[in-house]
Structure 1
């Protein structure tokens, strides 16, 4: 199985709009509705995952995908609507199918988050079969 190279780097950017703010996270969390309209930590984590997935796509075999297994991120500064957030990742370790990324996110003014994210390469068909078996009980 080919593995992505240590040192792989990638960056993605997203403009923050109301849909990416804390009040928009989910209607299932009613206490978020009165929170400030800033880039949500939940969406920052999702953006980190998206950036890693995009970086890995050219390095995976057909039938492979990656799943997130660990997130260790700070969220150090608030980002208002209208600013752009850029996430930069670097693959710093590959241990078999386990991938560890160094992460930094910044908006137009500040570093807003940093840390590490881990993903695991899975066989999509096997993963989905296990998921379906789990759902059936």
Structure 2
């Protein structure tokens, strides 16, 4: 479709069931931590879910060589969500500045609003981006 068709006002929603792998305790091993934490939806996963919801919203507007990368996250996580509930993310494109896209974002669970704020993404040329990663010394596979 192309970015020329992209307009502020685009709204997209997605849902995610909260399972044990999306909780704060499940993240502890990633950071070599043994601190006991409550089994609730992790803030890091909420932000990741917001990012993936924005990516899905933009997919029809990107050319095959284009991707988007996150460049700003200003999100507040204000309520806990237990395992078994579903989280819904809603993103609304509110501004386009050249290749930078600004979204108003929110998340709610089955009971209440759990967070929200602003997220920005930049449209990139995937090949040029990956070439910069290679020059920096990073592998392109894990």
Whether the 8 Å CA contact 1:71–1:116 is kept in 2: the answer is: yes
Matched, 1:36 2:38: yes
**5+ residue gaps, structure 1:** none
Whether the 8 Å CA contact 1:85–1:108 is kept in 2: the answer is: yes
- Let me know the Cα RMSD of the aligned residues: 1.4
- 1:59-70 to structure 2, matched below 5 A, reads 59-70=61-72
TM-score normalised by structure 2 residue count: 0.91
Provide the aligned length of Structure 1 versus Structure 2: 136
**5+ residue gaps, structure 2:** none
* 3-state SS of paired residue (2:110): coil
In the other structure, the counterpart of 2:100 is 98
Alignment deviations for residues 22-70 of structure 1 (CA, whole Å, 9 cap, x no partner): 0112523233651111000000000000000000000001110000000
TM-score normalised by structure 1 residue count: 0.94
Runs of 4+ residues deviating >6 angstroms: none
Of 32-41 and 93-102, the range deviating more from structure 2:
32-41
